[in-house]
Amino acid sequence: MCGIVGYIGDKDVSSVLMSGLWKLEYRGYDSSGIAVIDDGDLKVRKSFGKLMQLQELLQKEPVGGSLGIGHTRWATHGEPSDQNAHPQTDCNGKIAVVHNGIIENYYTLKEELTKKRHIFKSTTDTEVIAHLIEEEFRGDLKEAVLRAVEKLKGSFAIAVISEDQPDRIVAYRKGSPLIIGLGRNENLLASDIPAVIGHTKEVVILEDDEMAVLKKKGVEFYTKNGKRIEKQVQEVPWKPDDMNKGEFPHYMLKEIYEQPEVIRRNISLRIRNKKIDLGEEFNFTPDELARVNRIIIQACGTSWHAGYIGKYLLEDIARVHTEVDISSEFRYRNPVVNGETLVIAISQSGETADTLAGIREAKAKFLKILSIVNVLGSTIARESDGVIYINAGPEIGVASTKAFTAQVFNVYMFTLYLARLKWTIQKEEMLKRLSELKGLPDALERILKRDDVIRGIAERFKDKKHFIFLGRGINYPTALEGALKLKEISYIHATGYPAGELKHGPLALVDENMPVVAIATRSSVYEKMLNNLEEVKSRGGVVISVVTEGDERAKAVSDYTIEVPEVPEYLSPIVNVVPLQLLAYHIAALNGRDVDKPRNLAKSVTVE
Residue 80 CB neighbour total at 10 angstroms: 16
- Whole-number Å distance between alpha carbons of 138 and 136: 6
Q: How far is CA 72 from CA 25, 32, 52, 536, in A?
A: 6, 4, 11, 46
Q: How far is CA 493 from CA 35, 363, 422, 465, 466, in A?
A: 40, 38, 43, 6, 5
Residue 462 CB neighbour total at 10 angstroms: 15
Hey, what amino acid is at 39? D
Residue 508 CB neighbour total at 10 angstroms: 10
Q: How far is CA 239 from CA 21, 250, 443, in A?
A: 18, 19, 27
- Whole-number Å distance between alpha carbons of 210 and 142: 12
In three-state secondary structure terms, 174 is: strand
Expressed in percent and rounded to 5, the helix, strand and coil fractions of the chain are 40, 25, 35
Give the angle 458-460-462 at the CA atoms, nearest 5°.
60
In this structure, are strands 41-48 and 95-103 parallel, antiparallel, or unpaired? unpaired
Q: Report CA Rg, the chain.
A: 25
Q: Collect all residues with Cβ–Cβ distance below 8 Å to 530 and sequence separation of at least 6.
A: 520, 553, 554, 557
- Whole-number Å distance between alpha carbons of 223 and 212: 9
Beta strands in 239-314 (DSSP E): 271-272, 275-276, 294-299
Q: What is the DSSP letter of 506?
A: G
**Total count of residues recorded for the chain:** 608
- Whole-number Å distance between alpha carbons of 255 and 604: 17
Hey, what amino acid is at 219? V
Hey, what amino acid is at 467? F
**Residue 217 Cα to chain centre, angstroms:** 33
Give the angle 62-66-67 at the CA atoms, nearest 5°.
95
Within 86-230, residue ranges assigned H as helices are 106-115, 127-136, 141-149
The residues that are catalytic are 2, 603
Hey, what amino acid is at 398? V
Under 8 Å between Cβ of 141 and 170: yes
Residue 538 CB neighbour total at 10 angstroms: 10
Q: Collect all residues with Cβ–Cβ distance below 8 Å to 261 and sequence separation of at least 6.
A: 441
